[in-house]
Amino acid sequence: MTRGREAGYRLLGHRFDFLLHLRPAEWPVMAAHTAIGYFLAVGLAGAARGLHGGAALLGLGVWVVCLNGGTLALNSAFDRDEGDVAYLRRPPPAPRQLARFAVGLMALGQVAAFGLPIAYRVTYGICFGLSLAYSVPPVRLKAVAGADWLINMWGFGTLTPYAGWAATGIPLEPARGLVLLAFCPLFASLYPLTQLYQREEDTRRGDRTLACVLGISRSLDVAIGSAALAFLLFAAAGLRAGWRLGGADPGRWLGLLGAALIWAWVLLPWRRRSDRLRPADHERRMYHALAAWAATDLVVLMAWGS
C-alpha cells in the first residue's frame, strides 16, 4: 500500500474505497481534454480575461468528477476487477453500494448541469445515458465488441471537449467543429490500447471487448488507421480555418506533424513487437499513448486557441 492510500484510509476509513474507484488520478487528464473545448471557444486571450470562466469551471467540475468519476466507479461496480485498470493499480474490492453511489453522483451532476446552457445539459444527459448502457446489465454494451468502441470514441473523444465549449454558450463554428470531430477517431485509436493488457481478465469474465474480438495485432492495426484518420481531420480543420504557408501558420502545420510523429513513434514499434509483449508491456505502452494524447491536446490548444 502506498503512503497516499495509507493516509486516505486513516482519514476516511473504508469510505476511501469509493474515492479510489472514482479514479482521481485520471481527473487531470479528463479536465485537460474537457478544457480544450473551452479554450477553442474563447481563445487563449479570452481565457486570460476570464471570459465565461465561472460557467467553464462549473462545467468542468461537473463533467470530470460527477460524470467521468461516476462512470468509472459504475464500471468498477460491475467489472469487479482484480488486476490493474487504467489510472488505478491494484484496485480495492468494489464496495457493495458502489453502483448506487456512482449513479447518484452522475444524477447530481445532471442537476448541476441545469445551471449551464442547454447544449451542455443535453450533452451531459446523452453521456449519462451512454454510461449506464455501457456498464449496467442486461444492456452492458462494454461486453459487445464495437458498441464499446463507438460509445467511447464519441463520448470521450468528441463530446467531452464539446462539453467544455457548450458550457460557454458560444455557437460552434465549422473549423473548430472539425477539430472536435477529429478527436473521435483519435480516441478510436486510443480505446483498444486501453484493453490489450486486460484481455485475459476480460475473457475470463465473458466480456467480448473490441480487443478480445480483434486480437492484439488487429487492434493495433485499427489504432494506427484511426490515428491517421484523426490527423487527416485535423489537417482539414486547418485548411477550413484558412491556414497558409506564410506568417504564423507554418508553426501550426509543424505542430500537427510533430503530434502525428509522436503517435507513430508509439504505435508502429508496438505493432512490430506485438507478438512478443507481455500484458505488463502493453500496459506500459498504453501510458505512452496517453502521453501522445496529451501532446496532441497541447498542439491543438496552441494551433487553434490563439
Spans of all domains in the chain: 1-172, 173-306
Residue carrying the nine cell digits 473548430: 176
CB 116 within 8 A of CB 167: yes
Predicted confidence at residue 79, as pLDDT, reads 77
Instruction: Give yes or no for residue 157 having a pLDDT over 70.
Output: yes
Q: How confident is the model at residue 107 (pLDDT cuts 50, 70, 90)?
A: very high
Residue-wise pLDDT tens digits, 186-221 = 999 999 998 888 887 777 777 777 888 889 999 999
Higher-confidence residue of 47 and 87: namely 47
Predicted confidence at residue 144, as pLDDT, reads 82
DSSP state string for 34-66: HHHHHHHHHHHHHHHTTTTHHHHHHHHHIIIII
Q: How confident is the model at residue 262 (pLDDT cuts 50, 70, 90)?
A: very high
Predicted confidence at residue 83, as pLDDT, reads 65
Q: How confident is the model at residue 1 (pLDDT cuts 50, 70, 90)?
A: low
Least trusted range by pLDDT, from 161-170, 183-192, 203-212, 296-305: 203-212
Q: How confident is the model at residue 133 (pLDDT cuts 50, 70, 90)?
A: very high
Give CA–CA dist 193/125, Å, rounded: 27
Q: How confident is the model at residue 82 (pLDDT cuts 50, 70, 90)?
A: low
Higher-confidence residue of 57 and 1: namely 57
Give CA–CA dist 12/106, Å, rounded: 22
CB 110 within 8 A of CB 125: yes
Predicted confidence at residue 176, as pLDDT, reads 95
Residue carrying the nine cell digits 473551452: 38
Residue carrying the nine cell digits 468494489: 94
Predicted confidence at residue 226, as pLDDT, reads 98
Give CA–CA dist 25/15, Å, rounded: 17
Predicted confidence at residue 249, as pLDDT, reads 79
Mean pLDDT, the chain, whole residue set: 91
Residue-wise pLDDT tens digits, 3-48 = 777 787 788 888 888 888 899 888 998 999 999 999 999 999 999 9
Assign 224 to helix, strand or coil: helix
The conformation of residue 242, written as its DSSP 8-state character, comes to T
Q: How confident is the model at residue 304 (pLDDT cuts 50, 70, 90)?
A: very high
Predicted confidence at residue 204, as pLDDT, reads 77
Chain centroid offset of residue 67 CA: 12
Q: Options 1.20.120.1780, 3.30.420.10, 1.20.1250.20, 1.10.10.10; which CATH number does 173-306 get?
A: 1.20.120.1780
Q: What is the mean pLDDT of residues 133-137?
A: 91
pTM for the structure as a whole? 0.89
